Structure formats: C-alpha cells, structure tokens
Amino acid sequence: MLYFLKDLEEFFGPFRLFEYATVRGILAAGIAALIGAVIAPRIIRRLQNAIQPERGRDLLGDAAQETRKVPTMGGLIIFFSALAGTLLCARPNVYVFSALTVFIGMTLIGFWDDYKKVIKKDADGMSSGLKWILTSLTAVAAFGVLLCKGGFRMNLLEIWVPLMKEPLVAFSGAVISSNDLSAPGALLFAFGVLVLFWLTSVGASHAVNLTDGIDGLAAGCAVPNVCVFGVIAYLVGNARWAEYLGIGYVPGVGELAVFCAAIVAGILVFLWFNGAPATIYMGDTGSLALGGALGATALLTGHPLLLIISGGVFVLETVTVIIQKSYFKYTRKRYGEGRRVFPRTPIHHTWQQTTPNTKIVIRCWIISIALAALALITLKLR
C-alpha cells in the first residue's frame, strides 16, 4: 500500500522514496518488528495451555525429551508480523501474491496440525501423507496465481546453476501468451513450473519442519537463508545488477526482497522469545510456512539450486531422515528387523546425546551463515 504514496510526490517530494524496494524493505522490516513486539506477549499468554503432548522415548530417546511445558503455535508471531509488513510495503504483483499463497497456505496447514496436537492431544498430529497432500495442493494454488498473469515469462524456467554463466535452459525473455496455452510448448512450460514449485516449496517446508526440534535451531538457521534470497530477489529484479552479475533479469521479482525483509523481522522477534530456554515454540505453524516461503522465493528468483547450498543444515537434517527410513525398511524386509544408520533422526537428536543444545544451535547458526555467504559468492564466481 505504501508503494502508491510515490504518486503523491508532487505534493511531498520525499514520497518518491516509496518507489524503491530497498526503502520499502526497511519499512517492512520495521513494521513487522513493531507489530511482532506488540502481539508476541499477547499470543504467548493466549497459548499458555497449547502444550504439545510428549512423544514417546522410543522415538526420540532420553536426550531429546522436553521436561518443561512450553506452548507451541508460536509461528503465528512470524505470520502476522510478516504478513502485515508485506501487505503494507510490497508493491502488489503476481510474484508477491504467489509467495504469499505459499506462506499463508503452509501456515494454515501447520496450524491445523498443531491444533490436533494441542487440542485433540494427538502427539503425532496430522498424518505425514495428508500433510504432503495439503502442502502439494498449496504449491498448485501458488502456481495458479502465476496463471492469473496475462502472459508467462519463460525466464521463470531459467534455472541458474551455481558457478555456471548460463541457465540450464535459456528463453531470451520470450513470452507465452495466455491465448497459446493449448500449444505443447505452453503446456510443457506450465507443467515444468508446477513441478518446480512442488520440489522447492514443498521440499523446503518439510526440511525446515524436520529441523525444528531445539530452541532456536530452525528459526536461527532460517534467518541467513531468507536474507540470501531477499538479496537475490533484489538483484534479479534490478536490471543493472542482473546484467552486471549475469543472473537473468525478471521484472517485478525485486518485490520479494520486501517480503523477505518482513519475514526476517518476524523471525527475529520470535527468536527473542524462542531462545533457550524458550517460552514459545513455533510448531508446524511456523516451520512449514518458513520453509514454503523460502522455497517459493528461491524458485521465483530462478535460483532454487542455491537453496541446497545456503540451506545445508536443512538438507543434512532431511537427508539423514531419508537414509534412516530407507535403511530401516530395507533391513526389515531383508533381515526381518529394522536397523538404524544413526542413533536418532533428524540428526540433531543424535547430537543431543553428546552435545549441549545451545552449542548445537550456535554451531548450526554459524554453519548457516557461512553457507549463506558462500551461496552469495557463487553469483559473482561465474
């Protein structure tokens, strides 16, 4: 909304500053932080009885058990803060609406999952199959938002590979009109965007969800990742920087930098209360939303592969779960009993058996910051 104040420049000169995404990004972060600081204590008080039932010791082990009764659903702090900052400061366009579709949809799915845990006292919450289905439908809905645009820029499929000077597929800024959707090329394009949305937004949402298991772990690791893609969104949406770095220019994507700024501010407010010992957990309400928004932003900027680098902690957590489950099923089928590769997964539960939680969290933060810096460096090393 504040973007349109630029039209009043003739009445008050400084209003022209609202045209710049950098200015509105700073404002979005400030508004999100202010709103978060006001609503966070109130949300925490309202959620005092929203305690998640303890999962069995056979799943997590003694080292991973929570002895304090801490409320969950704290992701609502991030959600309301980031949503307000984005709606007030971002210029409305198809990219912002698509990212918000993922962010809002994943928040609702996570909230439903947490609701089942704390109200229905079901420790496992929503089934993993249903969660995958609903998050996938959210990705489809975000894709549908892109279809609302009059024409589809083919460079949405220009997936850039780190250290390579050219994208995997280049379309030279070609545009497919909505009137040509019956053409095989347009259908292939639509299917490609849909698959990419599913891989990035859904995959990232579940990766962050798996990482959320220690005070401040998932939220702290998300901050440098969101910052990285906020910067990338600004660069890709700026013609001069995009040309200088050779990373492909997508008009309008720079508004996602405002979206990312609001999310970072919301996360930082949440971390104020989530730092050990936590007074609130984000729950699936926050973890699914953060991962989904991160994945959607990575795709819309054309650099989803950089998420593998910057999100190395999330990737590691996810890979250990996949290995553990796959090996357990294989050995149960072959030997009649399931065997483990790691004592516990996600891998942070294994680390908890020998390392204090705060040290695990700080080390993961350091690794995430280093990987985020590496991801940005690759933009120049082409």
Q: How far apart are CA 82 and CA 36, in angstroms?
A: 8
Can the peptide bond before residue 346 be classed as cis, meaning omega within 30 degrees of 0?
yes
Q: Establish if 13 belongs to a structural domain.
A: no
Kindly state the average pLDDT of the residues 222-248. Answer: 91
The total domain count for the chain is 1
Res 175 pLDDT > 50: no
Q: Establish if 273 belongs to a structural domain.
A: yes
Q: Grade residue 275 by pLDDT with cuts at 50, 70 and 90.
A: confident
Q: Grade residue 80 by pLDDT with cuts at 50, 70 and 90.
A: very high
Residue 243 burial (10 A CB sphere; 0-12, 13-18, 19+)? exposed
pLDDT of residue 7: 56
Q: How far apart are CA 135 and CA 36, in angstroms?
A: 26
Res 170 pLDDT > 70: no
* CB count in 10 Å sphere of residue 304: 23
pLDDT of residue 181: 46
Residue 171: half-sphere exposure toward Cβ, Cα within 13 Å: 19
Q: Establish if 3 belongs to a structural domain.
A: no
* CB count in 10 Å sphere of residue 96: 21
CA angle 129, 133, 134 (to 5 degrees): 120
pLDDT of residue 149: 64
In the chain, the percentage of residues whose pLDDT exceeds 90 is 42
Q: Establish if 257 belongs to a structural domain.
A: yes
pLDDT of residue 244: 87
Kindly state the average pLDDT of the residues 62-90. Answer: 82
Q: Are 167 and 159 in contact (CB under 8 A)?
A: yes
Residue-wise pLDDT for 95-146, tens only, equals 999 999 999 999 999 999 888 888 777 766 788 888 889 988 998 888 888 7
pLDDT of residue 178: 45
Residue-wise pLDDT for 32-66, tens only, equals 999 999 999 999 988 887 776 655 444 444 444 45
Query: For residues 196 and 372, which has the higher predicted lDDT (pLDDT)?
Result: 372
What tokens were used for 337? 């009993």
What tokens were used for 248? 């492909």
Q: Establish if 14 belongs to a structural domain.
A: no
Query: For residues 84 and 382, which has the higher predicted lDDT (pLDDT)?
Result: 84
Q: How far apart are CA 218 and CA 200, in angstroms?
A: 17
pLDDT of residue 213: 84
Res 373 pLDDT > 60: yes
pLDDT of residue 153: 53
Q: Are 201 and 139 in contact (CB under 8 A)?
A: yes
Res 344 pLDDT > 60: yes
How many secondary structure helices (H) and strands (E) does the chain include?
Answer: 15, 2
In the chain, the percentage of residues whose pLDDT exceeds 70 is 81
What does pLDDT average to over the chain? 83
Which of 160, 134, 156 lies closest to 146 in space, CA to CA?
156
Q: Grade residue 380 by pLDDT with cuts at 50, 70 and 90.
A: confident
Q: Are 232 and 306 in contact (CB under 8 A)?
A: yes
pLDDT of residue 254: 92
Bridge partners (DSSP) of residue 153 are 175
pLDDT of residue 4: 62
Total-model pTM: 0.88
- Provide the 8-state DSSP code for 165: S
Q: Establish if 66 belongs to a structural domain.
A: yes
Q: Establish if 17 belongs to a structural domain.
A: no
Q: Which domain holds residue 320?
A: 23-380
pLDDT of residue 185: 60
The number of angstroms, rounded, from the C-alpha of 53 to the middle of its chain's C-alpha atoms is 26
Q: Establish if 112 belongs to a structural domain.
A: yes
Q: Are 280 and 47 in contact (CB under 8 A)?
A: yes
Q: How far apart are CA 332 and CA 338, in angstroms?
A: 4
Res 14 pLDDT > 90: no
pLDDT of residue 304: 87
Phi and psi angles of residue 234, each rounded to the nearest 5 degrees, phi first: -65, -45
- Tell me the one-letter amino acid at 56: G
Residue-wise pLDDT for 351-368, tens only, equals 998 899 999 999 999 999
Query: For residues 251 and 361, which has the higher predicted lDDT (pLDDT)?
Result: 361
